[in-house]
Amino acid sequence: MISLILFTGSLAVTVYTFFVFPVLLALRARLFPKPHSESDRLPTVSMLIACHNEEANIERKLHNLLAIDYPAELLQLVIISDGSTDRTESIAAKFAERVTLLSLPRRGKAVALNEAVPLADGEVLVFSDANSMLDPNAIRALVRPFGDSRVGGVAGDQRYDKSNAASNIQEGEQRYWSFDRWLKRVQSRAGSVTSATGALYAIRRELFHEVPGGVTDDFFVSTQVIARGYRLVFAENAIAREPVSDTGTAEFQRKVRLMTRGLRGIAEMKQLLNPVRYGFYALQIFSHKVLRRLNVFALITLAVTSPLLWQQSIAFQLATVIQIAFYGMAAAAQLMRTCRRRVIKIFSLPAFFVMANTAALVATLNVARGKRIELWTPHRGEPVADR
């Protein structure tokens, strides 16, 4: 009986998280849409890029930003070096006519952003990563929704550069981001996206709140918009392109770091889980950021209980076989990767799913143990060619 209860409950949580919740979002967007207006007015913009040891990317990033289709007199570029020990600062210094370089001791990205914002003079703060290359019209597309006074923040669209796509788990991650893009689209139509990603997003300057240590800065900064009563919308044409990670180990470590900091960020912004004050958004953030991260425990429970119920019904036998096949494909993908073979495409999504949920498990244990991740070290491959 206990196994049946655990199996049923875990199945319900998993089905809700990955299937029912997206359907609820789509229905809300269709039945109760909340459109926002846009404007061609170009506000003053301060773009902030916090980086540590990014010599492989920073020059290309700055050339990319200087080629952006946005008036130079309205665009302030600020590079914050968080204790870089490579050539990051000397490379950025070559662009001194257009770029403000802030050199800081190594204290973490949160401190770097907090130190930099007082130097920003733009009406709109734009945040981006050093290895994210923007499409020429990205900033124009990003600021257009600020023509609506109810909009306090805008999330850009992160896409992976397929020219650098490895033949393994990254294909699964690209499929995940395609799904996440659809989620952001319907979330925006329904009210607000859950949060922005660090590749590219913007907020009104007056809505910036000092970022505490140990949290994901893009989550914390962007959700401040919601906490202050504004909307956070999605600009699908504001595109930032990132290369995929060159190794599975680096990508796994990155996900553990982001999820650990992300769970701490949710704890910092726990007031957003109050449905009385934040309505549907509270359900949205609980489903998208809490249940999805903790769903790994439901998956483990399903894997343990379904074999125990084998004799009771063909349904449990089928559930067991499906799980064996799914996780078997993930294991096969990892073996192919280890042997430096191209991963069969159908195996890529199970491989990414298992990797992401394993990272979520490690991140949850990190938070339970009180472990904080204040600093970050980029694990970059060679910079990809301009597109």
As beta bridge partners, residue 47 has 77, 126
Question: Residue range 310-327: average pLDDT?
Answer: 94
Query: Where is average pLDDT lowest: 41-50, 174-183, 189-198, 200-209?
Result: 174-183
Rounded Cα distance, 382 and 50, in Å: 20
Give the orientation angle of helix 217-227 with respect to helix 109-116, to 10 degrees: 50
H or E element at residue 155:
strand 151-160
Backbone angles phi and psi of 114, in degrees to 5:
-60, -35
Sort strands 133-134 and 231-242 into parallel, antiparallel or unpaired. Answer: antiparallel
Rounded Cα distance, 356 and 337, in Å: 16
- Can you read off the two tokens belonging to residue 4? 């049946």
Rounded Cα distance, 12 and 16, in Å: 6
pLDDT of 381 > 50? The answer is no
Question: Residue range 4-23: average pLDDT?
Answer: 95
Domains of the chain: 2-16+293-368 (no CATH), 45-282 (3.90.550.10)
Query: Where is average pLDDT lowest: 119-128, 168-177, 342-351?
Result: 168-177
pLDDT of 167 > 50? The answer is no
Q: pLDDT digit string (tens) for 238-285?
A: 999 987 665 567 778 888 888 988 888 898 899 999 999 999 999 999
* pLDDT tier at 140, thresholds 50, 70, 90: very high
Higher-confidence residue: 201 or 179? Answer: 201
pLDDT of 104 > 50? The answer is yes
> Is the separation of the CB atoms in 206 and 228 below 8 Å?
no
* pLDDT tier at 165, thresholds 50, 70, 90: very low
Question: Residue range 338-355: average pLDDT?
Answer: 81
Q: pLDDT digit string (tens) for 188-221?
A: 999 999 999 999 999 999 999 999 988 889 999 9
Q: What is the DSSP string of 327-379?
A: HHHHHHHHHHHHTTPPPPHHHHHHHHHHHHHHHHHHHHHHHHTT---------
> Is the separation of the CB atoms in 291 and 9 below 8 Å?
no
- Can you read off the two tokens belonging to residue 41? 């007015």
pLDDT of 152 > 90? The answer is yes
pLDDT at 246: 54
What is the pTM for the complete model shown? Answer: 0.88
Q: Report which of 363, 384, 203, 211 is spatially closest to residue 294, judged by C-alpha positions.
A: 363
318 residue type, one letter: L
pLDDT at 379: 57
pLDDT at 386: 32
Higher-confidence residue: 230 or 381? Answer: 230
Question: Residue range 306-310: average pLDDT?
Answer: 93
Provide the 10 A C-beta neighbour count for residue 7: 22
